[in-house]
Amino acid sequence: MPSRIHLAKFLSRRSLASETVEFTFSLPAGVAGVAGLAGASAAPSQAAAAGPVPSSAAPWLSEAELKFRPGQFISVQVGIDDDQNPILRSYSLASPPQRRAELAIVLRLIPQGLGSQFFDRLRPGDSMRFTGPMGFFVNELSHSGDVIYVATGTGIAPILPMLAETLDRPEPGRVSLYWGLRSEDEVFWQDELAALQSRHPRFSPYIYLSQPRTGWTRLRGRVTGPVLEALPTLRTPTFYLCGNGKMIEELKASLVSRGIDRKRQIRTEAFFD
């Protein structure tokens, strides 16, 4: 049976940091859907990305409200290959489910990247085809102890709404974010994190730069070491790791070697730039 393609209208883009952009889309009351994308693959292709769909060519069809959990992703059609099959790229949703009429995606624009070219060409009113939301990188339904989120780069995108969901719960554990970036030019969402910290005293964000410029007085280095150093102080922790695959592999192995249960206490989502 064909998968259902949803359509969202492009609203705006906002530069967050060097080469990092937030794209916002509207979801009409009753998200549009058309049949297609059956058996489509997200494998890279050398074919040029298909252009955005003009809004006049995307009539909105009646469908139930799009539902998802923080941490899930969508697969976006960013082009068509030589055999006329859709080329898909997956992007985590950076907006919370409470923003029922909108979706936000954060990505680092990469020269010559098919996904980057597709998003960079979008103009207000254009439509984006996507399937989902889907994925299992979501918060546990409850946390009995501390919760540790670890992200690198744009791996913070699904983490922000996941943080908000956890912090809104009446749970006793501490919640910490360890976010690794290369330099000051890549830092963003400072106001959003500060607002969460102001509203929730049990939340502590830590931002580490691996290649800061001279004069950076805050935290330096990679996130792996500080997370492991904090481990003895944590109470029945749950870890959510998102971003660079190497970071995830290294940190997961180190946590497991120190007694953390891989299946019960660690959730991961690898990002590939």
Structure tokens at 78: 């960013």
Amino acid at 34: V
pLDDT exceeds cutoff 80 at 57: no
3-class secondary structure, 206: strand
CATH 2.40.30.10 holds for 3-134: yes
Q: What's the pLDDT at 29?
A: 62
**Segment among 66-70, 134-138, 163-167, 186-190 with least mean pLDDT:** 66-70
**pLDDT band, residue 234 (cuts 50/70/90):** very high
Q: Which residue has the higher pLDDT, 34 or 202?
A: 202
**pLDDT band, residue 139 (cuts 50/70/90):** very high
Chain-centroid distance of CA 125 in Å reads 23
- Percent over 90 (pLDDT), the chain: 74
Q: What's the pLDDT at 24?
A: 97
**Segment among 10-24, 186-200, 204-218 with least mean pLDDT:** 204-218
Range list for CATH 2.40.30.10 in the chain: 3-134
Q: Which residue has the higher pLDDT, 99 or 190?
A: 190
Task: Give the fold, CATH level 3, of 147-271.
Answer: Rossmann fold (3.40.50)
Tell me what the mean pLDDT of segment 29-41 comes to: 42
Range list for CATH 3.40.50.80 in the chain: 147-271
Which residue pairs, CB below 8 angstroms and at least 24 apart, start in 136-139? 136/267, 137/71, 137/72, 137/73, 137/92, 137/240, 137/242, 137/267, 137/268, 137/269, 138/69, 138/70, 138/71, 138/72, 138/162, 138/267, 139/69, 139/70, 139/71, 139/165, 139/166, 139/240
Q: What's the pLDDT at 35?
A: 39
pLDDT exceeds cutoff 90 at 105: yes
Tell me what the mean pLDDT of segment 161-171 comes to: 96
pLDDT exceeds cutoff 80 at 55: no
For the segment 89-104, what is each residue's pLDDT rounded down to a tens digit? 999 999 999 887 899 9
Tell me what the mean pLDDT of segment 131-147 comes to: 95
Tell me what the mean pLDDT of segment 155-170 comes to: 97
Tell me what the mean pLDDT of segment 64-79 comes to: 89
Q: Which residue has the higher pLDDT, 190 or 31?
A: 190
